[in-house]
Amino acid sequence: MESIGVLMPIPMNSYLEQELQKRYNLFKLWTAPQKPQFIKEHADSIRAVVGNASAGADAELIEALPRLEIVSSFSVGVDKIDLAKCREKGIRVTNTPDVLTEDVADLAIGLILAVLRRLCESDRYVRSGKWKKGDYKLTTKFSGKTVGIIGLGRIGMAVAKRAEAFNCPICYYTRTEKSDMKYKYYPSVVELASNCQILVVACPLTEETRHIVNREVMNALGPKGVLINIGRGPHVDEPELVSALIEGRLGGAGLDVYEHEPEVPEELFGLENVVLLPHVGSATVETRKDMADLVLGNLEAHFSNKPLLTPLV
């Protein structure tokens, strides 16, 4: 398969990169000074694109690669891939579901605890020597608080399972109620936010879910409510989030994703009721290797004319 050209738009994972180089003719787009020219020169060789949550395959790239057969995403989210264009041209699309579910759900619980118990601020309190001058202030309990989840797919369910271990009542919003679900359903995000103390965003990013958490939702969650986003940055109206936190209309936030990554609103940096992570939901050694192996497995299956492991298109 060494003659098969695979395009990687940005650096993602050293193990994945090394394995791709062993098996295919790997084109690293980020190393090219003139990217459009680079794509034009190698267009006839490229039969696969390996993308991720930050860079995938938009309509322009797909049109520029006449021999493209498959886009294999090193992520579960595929909002950076033009799925309609892929369907139109018969291009297969795969992602990496399941293998990252546990890590992302673990991180959601970690963010909840970090915000409510002020773990990051408490750590800084000790390191700065302030503890010698007096005890840190009281914080807020997690156990028993109602957790609302937007999106009850694999990750949403894993968050619910973990929150239940803290004796938290669970409620949720999805486009349609799940008939076999024991959790309380609310038909709108505003109703969900009005009836929970912690709101977790865990749905895929689509045009319908862009800014699904807006000013109205934040006001419904209220000055004692906490927003946790482990989905995608554009799920949340970021300027409204900044305003709600600064004005005290929202109690706190734990964020792993942002609207314009890696840019993060600087107004959030000084807020002790906000915990900021650099999009590391699945960033463990174990999970990233599993994700890479799934990308490699999908490519191998495709070019060997075998069924794809995790087909989307």
What amino acid positions are annotated as catalytic residues? Answer: 232, 261, 279
Residue that is written with structure tokens 């750590």 in the block = 123
Strands 147-150 and 170-173: parallel
| Residue position matching structure tokens 């090219």 | 32
Work out the angle between the directed axes of helices 101-116 and 154-164 (0-180°, nearest 10): 50
Say how far apart CA 219 and CA 216 lie, in whole Å.
5
Within 10 A of 207 (CB to CB), how many other CB atoms are there?
Answer: 7
